Chain A
Amino acid sequence: MQIAPKTKVKEYRRPVPTDWWLKKPSYTRYMLREIAGVLCGGYAVVLLLLMSQTKDAGAFGGFVAGLKSPLSLLLHLVFLAAALYHSITYIKLAPRVLVLKKGEERVPGSQIEAMHYGGMAAVSMVLLLVFLLVR
């Protein structure tokens, strides 16, 4: 038996609207997370600029004074919120990515999340200690 060739029909492709990311809360949350990542990167640039001033005490002092301005403090709050949002959404994903086993049983997601939060707290404490020691 001979199979008839496929007929080519004129297919319709629906356009993707530019505001697709406003169509569902999950899409919007994704976009916010991406923006939070850009803000975290932006803060890394601020820290690099700060480090670049360390050889010149006067310039360093001026830079630090600028960081204490109300606008800078407000920006720091925005950077902090972005870093927290990015970290929390990242850690929330971890149990679905890491397949850890204890014997034949999978380690519960809550334990994997707790391990991540513990790690984050430990690293933050070490950084804080280093900061207090070199101050």
Chain B
Amino acid sequence: MADSTKTCTLEVFRYHPEQDSEPSLQKYEVPFSEDWVVLDALNHIKGEMDGGVTYRWSCRMGVCGSCGMMVNGTPRLACSTFLKEFYPSPIRIEPLGGFPVIRDLVVNLDDFLEKLTRVQAWLIPKENHPEVNGALKQTPAELADYKQFSMCINCMLCYAACPVYAQEPHFLGPAAITLAHRYNLDSRDGARAARLDVISSDPGVWECAVIEECSAVCPKGVDPASAIKQVKLEGATDWWRGMLIPKEKRGG
């Protein structure tokens, strides 16, 4: 329950494409509660104060990855960021950095979705992988090889934290590369070469400047920076193999 005697100031980024040429910050005074997260405060604003405020959210428990936004300049999930972390200071809420803003806190995700498709972030089974009762099985050790990278929830906080993506939007970005790497590490998958061609190319891993803020903000501990560096090593090793060993003598 919110304590009606205490209030907290939220400065919310507002942008209405039909009316505004520039965005502005609008202040709202919301009730403060120890157990309220930023999403609770936004829902309070929308329900009780200003129905026009627009933002995305869904699961409310850090799983769906919909409610990513900049909280005091850092990409966070609104459903996992408590007001008490900032109280009594005002909290500035802005849309995820690096993406074009459609309206208020809603950003255009088309670029990310196109990149996910380009890197083929799904399982493309090996032709000869053994099936057991119709299932492609693997050992716990084979699962451990990629499990960390499979925890990505596509929340895009990593993109919002990446200054390279903000300045070079053609960069494939942390999550798309990490998810491609996740499938490349999967013992059941057979499309490593095709994915590596894309993620080890110019808009891929070589754009990464190793700033590592993507890993710092990841709410699931995926560590996309390490995935990118592993792909760099893999790409460089493949390049040297290609230079030193004739194609017909190369395996895999």
Contact = CB atoms under 8 A, between A and B. Distances in A.
B163 A11 contact: no
A30 B211 contact: yes
Interface in B150-172: 163, 166-167
Given A11-B100, A14-B101, A96 B229 contact: yes
Interface in A1-21: 9-14, 16, 20-21
Interface in B100-137: 100-103, 108
Interface string A73-105: 000000000000000000001001111000010
Nearest to B94: A14
Interface in B187-234: 209-213, 216, 223, 225-226, 229-230, 232-233
B73 to A, nearest CB: 7
Nearest to A13: B100
Nearest to A106: B144
A17 B118 CA distance: 30
Contacts of B216: 26
Interface residues of A, number: 22
Interface string A20-33: 11011011001001
B213 A11 contact: no
A14 B23 CA distance: 9
Q: Which interface residue of A12, A34, A98, A99 has the most chain B CB atoms within 10 A?
A: A12
A128 B166 CA distance: 45
A11 B17 contact: yes
B100 A97 contact: no
Interface residues of B, number: 31
Contacts of B212: 26, 30
Contacts of B223: 96
A26 B211 contact: yes
Contact of B102 (A11, A21, A97): A11
Contact of B108 (A11, A20, A24): A11
Interface string B63-105: 0000000000110000000000000000000000100111100
Nearest to B141: A104
A27 B17 contact: no
B183 interface: no
Contact of A16 (B101, B108, B166, B209): B166
A7 B36 CA distance: 35
B32 interface: no
15 contacts: A12-B17, A12-B23, A12-B100, A14-B97, A24-B73, A24-B213, A26-B213, A26-B216, A30-B212, A34-B209, A96-B223, A96-B226, A96-B229, A96-B230, A97-B232
Interface of B: 15, 17-18, 20, 22-23, 73-74, 97, 100-103, 108, 141, 163, 166-167, 209-213, 216, 223, 225-226, 229-230, 232-233
Closest 6 CB pairs of A and B: A96-B226, A11-B100, A104-B141, A97-B229, A30-B211, A12-B101
Interface of A: 9-14, 16, 20-21, 23-24, 26-27, 30, 33-34, 93, 96-99, 104
